[in-house]
Every structure is written in structure tokens, then in C-alpha cells.
């Protein structure tokens, strides 16, 4: 008997709630429980949610990431940006590029060729904001580390895309696989970033119009969700980053609207079940069987990326004379890696097709480890920084 998609969504939600409560007893973040729930009920273990169903639930991930990016963007008020200055941007550049450089040098040291090392190293720059933001929201973290972290993970996506564009252009020239010129390859991610920010900003400004005429919370929630759906759809059509687009949408909206905080509060009402389903589905997509294929290349990627993220963030914070807590703890909150990295690994196969399966396996293994371990490390870091209050 063919089960309804709603049957599987019900399983996903209740499994997420149960595992979220169980890991709470171990003082672990809810997101870790959601990921474990997906891993257990997914095609890798109990198969309560088959692989074909998981593949059809991609829209949940798109909507959840759009909401998360919108929420991050809403933190970018001009008054806040004037207060913190450019420090988070400089830190983001250092942590992203340090991860790329260290992974590249590590791969070269074990004898891998330059093109392969460049492409795989470029993916190391990407950081997944979703798990980090979930931990921040769950524990209501507040302080200099959290404030800097929110800005750094927001900027990180743009830096990762640009770094990947440059590395892929160089690798394409080396291998002769690229069918576009060097400058064209570099310009492509820049155009995508500018386009995403421009469309997002336009939608953020246009969203003000219907909100003037609809004051009830239900109507306002519908307008926000509808605008986000439109933005994500445009990103899918144009190839722009939906994260950057929705981030710009949120940032422009809160800076132009006098009721920005009120509308954001209304929008938050819809997020808990969507975030829960997103992380359970993400867990169901993880495949522990590929861990055996990671090899020395995977170990270097995992360890050297961690060293780059922590070392780069620390160095950037020291140069910008950031708060001592930011210097000490920020880097540990930048380890999660997921959607963007997986997307880049797919794009990489066109540049170094001979290494495509190997790059894909390494990134999928890294995603599995970073997503399960990363949120726990984020929580510990913010706790040690004194930005999570109470016993957790």
C-alpha cells in the first residue's frame, strides 16, 4: 500500500520531538536530536522514511533555509552595523580563506595534484548557518561572541562562493576542462552574489506595500511567507543563492519598516515545525556507510578545515582587536557544514570530473561528522563564553 506523504511527515515530526527531548536529557542541543532522529528513521537505518520520499522533501529544506536566512538578515540593522563596524567581515574573510589555504597545503603535502586540491579546498570555506542559528535560538544566547557569530555566518556564504569561483577558474585552466575563460569563471559568482542581494533588497522593499494595508497577524504572516516563497523561486530560476537573497530581503525590510520587529515576531510563529522537519530530513539524507571511503584525504579535509576555521577566526579577531571572548571562542562555532558545501561538490565534478566521486564522498562524510558534532561544539563554546545562561 502506498502511504501518503503526510504519513511520512507525521513520522518525521514525532521522531524529531522524541529525539529532541531525549538528547536534552544528555544536555545536547535539540538540533543534534533532530539529526539523529533522521538518521535512525531514514533509509540508512530503520527505513521508516524511504529514500525516494526523502528525495521528494527538498522543498522543506528550501523553505527552512529561506526562513533562517531571512531571520539572519533581520539582525542587520544599520544601527547595529554602525556599532560593530567591519570587524565581523574581516574575521569572516580570515576564517574562510584560512580553511581553504590549510586544506590545500595539507592535500599538496600528501601528493595530490594542484587542480584537485584547489577544488576540494575551496569547498572548505563554506559554513552552514542553520545548525548554528538553531543552537543560538534554543539557548537564547546573547553577547559579543553570538553577535559576531551571526554576522560572520551571514557573510561566509558570499565569501565561500567567491573563493570557489576563483579556485575553480584556476583548476579549470590547469586541467583544460573549463569551457569558459578565467575572468568569466571569476565573474560568475560575483554576478550571482550581486544579483541575489539586489533581488532580495527589491523584494524587501516591495513587501512593505501590502503590509501597510494588512495589519492582522495572520495576514502579515501570509505576506512574509508568500514573499519568501517568491524569493526562493526566483533564486531557483536564476541560479542565485537563496540564502543571500532571503538574507538581503530580511535586512532591507527591517531597516525600512517601523514595524520590523513586530512582523519578525509574527513570522517566528511558523518556524519551529519547519526547522524540526528540515533537520530530521537532513539527518535522513546522511549515509554512515560512506565513512569507510573517506581515507587520508577525508581526514586531512576534516582536521585542516577545523584548524583553518579556528585559527583564521582567532587571527582575524586579534587583528580587529575584538572582545577576548570572541578571540577565544568564535572559531569553534564555525564548524558545521552542509547544504552549500554539498552543492559546491556537485559543481566541482564538472571541473575535475575524474575526481568527482572522490570529492563528493569526502564532502558527504564531512557533512555527516560536522553536522552531528558541530552543534554540540557551538553550544559548549557559547556556554564557556558565558553567553548561555542557566544550567544547560
Q: Tens digits of per-residue pLDDT, 104-141? A: 999 999 888 888 888 888 888 888 777 788 888 888 88
Write the pLDDT tens digit of every residue in 274-313: 889 988 888 887 777 766 666 788 889 989 999 999 999 9
pLDDT for position 314: 93
- How many domains does the structure of the chain reveal? 1
**pLDDT tens digits, one per residue of 142-197:** 888 888 888 888 788 778 777 777 787 777 777 665 555 556 666 776 787 788 88
Position 8 in a domain? no
User: Other CB atoms closer than 10 Å to residue 6's CB: what's the count?
Assistant: 8
pLDDT of 82 strictly over 80: no
Q: Is residue 225 a part of any domain in this protein?
A: yes
How much is the pLDDT for 30?
Answer: 83
322-361 confidence digits (pLDDT tens): 889 999 999 888 888 776 777 677 667 666 777 777 787 7
Quick: pLDDT tens for 31-74.
888 888 988 998 888 889 998 888 888 888 888 878 888 887 88
Report the candidate in 191, 188, 196 with the shortest Cα–Cα distance to residue 172. Answer: 188
* Residue 317 lies inside a defined structural domain of this protein: yes
Per the CB < 8 A criterion, the answer to whether 71 and 264 are in contact is: yes
18 located within any domain: no
Q: What pLDDT is recorded for position 1? A: 52
On average, the pLDDT of the chain sits at: 84
DSSP 92-113: HHHHHHHHHHHHHHHHHHTT--
Q: Are 146 and 136 in contact (CB under 8 A)?
A: yes
Structural domain including 271 reads: 60-384
Please compute, for residue 384, the number of CA atoms within 13 A of its CA located in the half-sphere on the CB side: 15
Within 8 A by CB and 6+ apart from 13, the residues are 273, 276, 277, 280
6 assigned to some structural domain: no
Q: What is the pLDDT of residue 101?
A: 93
pLDDT score of 240: 81
Cβ atoms of 352 and 359 within 8 Å: the answer is: yes
25 belongs to a structural domain: no
Give just the sign of the alpha carbon dihedral 38, 62, 360, 312: negative
Q: Is the pLDDT of residue 391 over 70?
A: no
Cell numbers at 338, concatenated: 552542509
Phi and psi, residue 335, nearest 5°: -85, -35
Query: Quick one: pLDDT at residue 262?
Result: 85
Q: What is the pLDDT of residue 233?
A: 94
> What CATH number does residue 275 fall under?
1.20.1530.20
191 belongs to a structural domain:
yes
pLDDT of residue 178: 54
Evaluate whether residue 47 is within a structural domain. no
**Cα–Cα distance, 372 to 99 (Å, whole number):** 20
Most confident of 209-223, 240-254, 258-272, 368-382: 209-223
Amino acid at each position: 500500500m502506498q502511504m501518503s506523504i503526510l504519513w511520512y511527515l507525521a513520522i518525521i515530526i514525532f521522531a524529531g520531538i522524541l529525539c529532541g527531548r531525549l538528547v536534552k536529557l544528555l544536555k545536547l542541543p535539540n538540533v543534534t536530536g533532530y539529526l539523529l532522529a533522521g538518521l535512525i528513521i531514514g533509509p540508512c537505518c530503520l527505513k521508516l522514511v524511504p529514500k525516494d520520499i526523502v528525495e521528494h522533501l527538498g522543498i522543506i529544506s528550501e523553505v527552512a533555509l529561506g526562513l533562517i536566512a531571512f531571520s539572519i538578515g533581520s539582525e542587520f540593522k544599520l544601527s547595529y552595523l554602525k556599532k560593530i563596524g567591519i570587524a565581523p567581515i574581516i574575521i569572516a574573510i580570515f576564517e574562510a580563506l584560512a580553511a581553504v589555504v590549510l586544506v590545500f597545503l595539507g592535500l599538496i603535502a600528501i601528493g595530490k595534484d594542484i587542480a584537485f586540491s584547489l577544488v576540494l579546498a575551496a569547498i572548505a570555506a563554506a559554513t552552514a548557518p542553520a545548525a548554528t542559528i538553531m543552537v543560538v535560538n534554543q539557548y537564547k544566547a546573547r553577547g559579543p561572541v553570538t553577535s559576531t557569530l551571526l554576522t560572520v555566518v551571514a557573510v561566509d556564504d558570499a565569501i565561500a562562493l567567491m573563493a570557489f569561483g576563483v579556485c575553480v577558474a584556476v583548476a579549470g585552466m590547469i586541467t583544460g576542462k573549463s569551457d569558459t575563460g578565467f575572468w568569466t569563471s571569476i565573474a560568475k559568482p560575483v554576478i550571482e552574489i550581486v544579483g541575489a542581494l539586489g533581488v532580495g533588497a527589491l523584494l524587501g522593499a516591495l513587501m512593505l506595500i501590502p503590509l501597510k494595508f494588512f495589519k492582522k497577524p495572520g495576514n502579515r504572516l501570509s505576506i512574509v511567507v508568500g514573499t519568501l516563497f517568491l524569493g526562493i523561486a526566483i533564486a531557483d530560476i536564476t541560479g542565485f543563492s537563496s540564502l543571500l537573497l532571503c538574507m538581503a530581503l530580511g535586512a532591507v525590510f527591517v531597516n525600512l519598516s517601523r514595524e520590523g520587529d513586530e512582523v519578525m515576531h509574527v513570522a517566528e510563529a511558523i518556524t519551529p515545525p519547519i526547522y524540526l522537519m528540515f533537520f530530521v530530513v537532513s539527518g535522513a539524507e546522511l549515509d554512515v556507510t560512506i565513512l569507510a571511503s573517506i581515507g587520508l584525504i577525508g581526514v586531512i579535509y576534516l582536521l585542516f578545515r577545523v584548524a583553518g576555521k579556528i585559527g583564521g577566526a582567532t587571527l582575524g579577531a586579534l587583528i580587529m582587536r575584538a572582545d577576548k571572548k570572541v578571540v577565544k571562542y568564535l572559531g569553534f562555532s564555525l564548524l558545521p557544514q552542509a547544504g552549500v558545501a554539498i552543492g559546491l561538490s556537485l559543481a566541482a565534478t564538472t571541473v575535475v570530473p575524474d575526481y568527482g566521486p572522490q570529492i563528493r564522498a569526502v564532502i558527504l562524510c564531512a557533512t555527516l561528522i560536522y553536522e552531528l558534532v558541530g552543534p554540540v561544539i557551538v553550544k559548549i563554546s557559547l556556554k564557556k563564553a558565558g553567553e548561555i545562561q542557566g544550567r544547560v
